[in-house]
Amino acid sequence: MRFGIVGAGAIGCLFGARLRLAGYDVTLVHRDPSIVQAIQKNGVNLQEIDGTLTKVRLPIRKGPAKLLGAEVLIVAVKAYDTRALAATYRGRIPSETTVLSLQNGLGNVETIQSMFKNEVLAASTTEGAFSLGPGYVVHTGRGLTLIGDTRRSNSDTCSRVKIAFDRAGLKAKTSSNIRGVLWTKAIVNAAINPLSSLTRLTNGALAKNAEIQEIARSAVDEGISVSHAARIRLVGDPRKLWRRILLSTRANKSSMLQDIERGKMTEIRQLNGAILSHGRMTRVKTPVNEILTKLVLGLEESSKTT
């Protein structure tokens, strides 16, 4: 299988490096020329959980780029870049290429589907990855990647991608309810990411704080209510998953906190903001998610000026 990966951040580099080490043809694409140059010069440095460091040579091109021959194009950009990326790549992706969204948040798949006639799949991963710089990724925790088609229950491509990920040491399963998987993860992230960003606490510290637990529980309950109103069948209980994820990633900082510390935009609009938006459409009140959205948007502004 030949893969193209748009987005050379932590997840893009982790999956790209692992797939390449497993013998697959992989090409990275990134829009930042400085990151492209760094990876062209130094390759991708993959630091495994046990501390082992492996340098992986991966072809990388500055985007937007045509990826003729790629059977699967993995979209691994931030959720807020999805619409612009889809608009940029219209006409650049062969009709036979499958597009796989490997992103956080809600709305990514729908955005891609609205602009492409290609087969579009979705994936949700709990693999932990942290970027130490251009092309330098630390694999912070093993997880599970679920892959599915939001339009039909079975897809041959899903099974083939699952096999490729497994061979690359990235445990994967196919799901007949990937939409429910995406919603469950978004609800859990909406009760972790903004709270860690606002308090600057690690995941483990969040789990120990009674006041934080109370706010998180309210955010999760709102998300569950909205999902029910939207007729989404969740996969797993977000209430239980919230604590389980925090305890299994105790030392980690959430991706949103990392973005705030770097003065970058966050995915708050595609997490709590999406729950708020769906709540308005389904007439479900989501006051906690609304407050968290507004607070993090304010934090984004303050981080740009400091």
DSSP letter string, 137-148: EEEEE---EEEE
Measured distance CA(260)–CA(271) in Å, rounded: 15
Which of 164, 182, 193, 226 has the alpha carbon at shortest distance from 24? 164
Dihedral sign from CA coordinates of 270, 251, 247, 212: negative
185 annotated active-site: yes
Superfamily of 181-305 according to CATH: N-(1-d-carboxylethyl)-l-norvaline Dehydrogenase; domain 2 (1.10.1040.10)
Range(s) within the chain of domains with CATH label 3.40.50.720? 2-176
- Predicted pLDDT at 306: 54
* Active-site choice (78, 162, 185, 253): 185
Measured distance CA(105)–CA(83) in Å, rounded: 13
Which of 267, 266, 274 has the alpha carbon at shortest distance from 290? 274
- Predicted pLDDT at 250: 83
- Predicted pLDDT at 305: 59
Per-residue pLDDT of the chain (306 residues), as tens digits, is 999 999 999 999 999 999 999 999 999 999 999 999 999 999 999 999 999 999 999 999 999 988 888 999 999 999 999 999 999 998 889 999 999 999 999 999 999 999 999 999 999 999 989 899 999 999 988 999 999 998 876 689 999 999 999 999 999 999 999 999 999 999 999 999 999 999 999 999 999 999 999 999 999 999 999 999 999 999 999 999 999 989 888 888 899 999 999 899 999 999 999 999 999 999 999 999 999 999 999 999 887 755
- Predicted pLDDT at 105: 96
Token representation of residue 131: 């970027």
Q: Angle at CA 141, nearest 5°, toward 144 and 177?
A: 20
Range(s) within the chain of domains with CATH label 1.10.1040.10? 181-305
User: Per CATH, which fold does 2-176 belong to?
Assistant: Rossmann fold (3.40.50)
- Predicted pLDDT at 214: 96
Q: How far is CA 88 from CA 31, 67, 99, 157, 301, in A?
A: 11, 13, 14, 24, 27
